[in-house]
């Protein structure tokens, strides 16, 4: 079994994008989308406060460990040669022993519909299967989150489960899909 890296290297370049660790100067850009109710709509939590955005960034100022269950790699997504953060992708180590990681994505709606989320998620998945030695990545998403379903399908992930009424979103029963891909299936 491959050994998962202790510390995550960054930045990561994609075709049109750069994925890098957040810095304290990114708080306003992150708050611009994390504060929006429509962005939080299917996240099973309220929009973030500015303080919440700043705290999450400060907590990662010294880099990200990638060793224990629950370790989180949160990367800001920027357009190459353009200032500002347009969104984020996140990889959570759910099982270090079995090398299972959960992937997610949240983007500013100003930059929707241009393939940026798919491109960033593809770059993060490649990092996961490459340098991080992950065996399987999976995503959990509300079945009503059709934009996110399409990201999974563009990445070639397999729909492995349809969980019925497995969570509460306010007073609405939420149902979720689980999509996944194995390292040996990943074509990049």
Ligand X SMILES: CC(C)(COP(=O)(O)OP(=O)(O)OC[C@H]1O[C@@H](n2cnc3c(N)ncnc32)[C@H](O)[C@@H]1OP(=O)(O)O)[C@@H](O)C(=O)NCCC(=O)NCCS
* Binding stretches for ligand X (CB under 6 A): 39, 42-43, 104-107, 112-118, 141, 145, 147-148, 150-151
Separation CA 9–CA 19 (nearest Å): 11
Residue placing its CB nearer to ligand X in the complex, 24 or 113: 113
Smallest gap, in angstroms, from Cβ of residue 5 to ligand X?
Answer: 25
d(CA 6, CA 8): 7
Residue with tokens 């994505």: 105
Provide the β-strand partners of residue 107.
87
Of 52, 53, 46, the closest CA to residue 27 belongs to: 53
The residue ranges of DSSP E strands in 63-99, in sequence order, are: 72-79, 87-95
The residue assigned the tokens 């979720």 is 176
Of the pair 4, 136, the CB lying nearest ligand X is at 136
CB of 77 to ligand X, least distance (A): 10
Instruction: Please choose, from the candidates 136, 28, 152, 10, the residue with its C-alpha nearest in 3D space to the C-alpha of residue 73.
Output: 10
DSSP string, 14-30: -SSEEEEE--GGGHHHH
User: Please, which residue, 65 or 178, has the CB nearer to ligand X?
Assistant: 178
Closer to ligand X by CB, 12 or 106: give it: 106
Q: CB-wise, 17 or 21, nearer to ligand X?
A: 17
In the complex, the smallest distance separating the C-beta of residue 2 from ligand X, rounded to whole angstroms, is: 27
- Residue 133 near residue 153, CB atoms below 8 Å: no
**Nearest distance from residue 16's CB to ligand X, in Å?**
8
Q: Which residue is nearest to ligand X (CB)?
A: 115
Cβ at position 28, least distance to ligand X in Å: 18
Token code pair at residue 11: 């930045």
């Amino acid at each position: 079994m491959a050994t998962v890296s202790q510390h995550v290297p960054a930045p990561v370049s994609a075709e049109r994008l750069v994925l890098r660790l957040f810095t304290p100067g990114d708080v306003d850009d992150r708050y611009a989308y994390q504060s929006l109710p429509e962005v939080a709509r299917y996240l099973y939590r309220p929009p973030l406060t500015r303080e919440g955005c700043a705290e999450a960034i400060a907590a990662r100022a010294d880099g990200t460990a990638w060793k224990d269950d629950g370790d989180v790699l949160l990367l800001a997504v920027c357009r190459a040669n353009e200032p500002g953060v347009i969104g984020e992708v996140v990889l959570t180590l759910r099982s270090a022993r079995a090398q299972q990681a959960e992937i997610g994505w949240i983007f500013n709606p100003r930059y929707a519909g241009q393939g940026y989320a798919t491109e960033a998620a593809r770059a993060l998945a490649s990092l996961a299967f490459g340098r991080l030695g992950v065996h399987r990545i999976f995503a959990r998403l509300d079945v009503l989150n059709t934009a996110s379903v399409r990201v999974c399908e563009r990445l070639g992930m397999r729909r492995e489960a349809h969980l019925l009424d497995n969570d509460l979103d306010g007073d609405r029963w939420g149902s979720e899909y689980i999509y996944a891909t194995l390292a040996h299936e990943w074509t990049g």
